[in-house]
Amino acid sequence: MNDHADALDSLLTHPGWRLFLEHVHREWGPTGARYNAELDKALDLVDAHAAASQARQIRAGRRVIESLLAWPEEEAQRLKRTDRVPEVTMSRRGGL
């Protein structure tokens, strides 16, 4: 395994990372306090088009947060897969 995969594995098992994930999920998860408060605030707008636009932006922001939180595990898995792929030497006849 390479240094980046090791570092990401270390991050994913660190108690501080787990605490951070819990906090983000409490705030911005599907039932998160901050997420729901911001969504409610947007939906309370008088202008329906503005409310819909604001709600879409809040949802998009939450999706970005989710993708950022998922990145360390996804990247560690990707790095582990690339470490396992055998190196193929190419000749004029193709890989042997």
**What are the tens digits of pLDDT across the range 58-83?**
999 999 999 999 999 999 999 998 87
For residue 1, what pLDDT is reported? Answer: 54
How far is 18 from 3, CA to CA, in rounded Å?
21
How far is 22 from 60, CA to CA, in rounded Å?
20
Number of neighbouring beta carbons within 10 Å of residue 58: 21
Give residue limits of the domains in the chain: 3-82
> Comparing C-alpha atoms, which of 39, 11, 27 is closest to residue 66?
27
For residue 84, what pLDDT is reported? Answer: 73
Whether the pLDDT of residue 94 is over 70: the answer is: no
Alpha helices in the chain (DSSP H): 3-13, 15-28, 33-43, 48-84
* pLDDT tens digits along 4-62: 999 999 999 999 999 999 999 999 999 999 999 999 999 999 999 999 999 999 999 99
Backbone angles phi, psi at 78, to 5 degrees: -60, -45
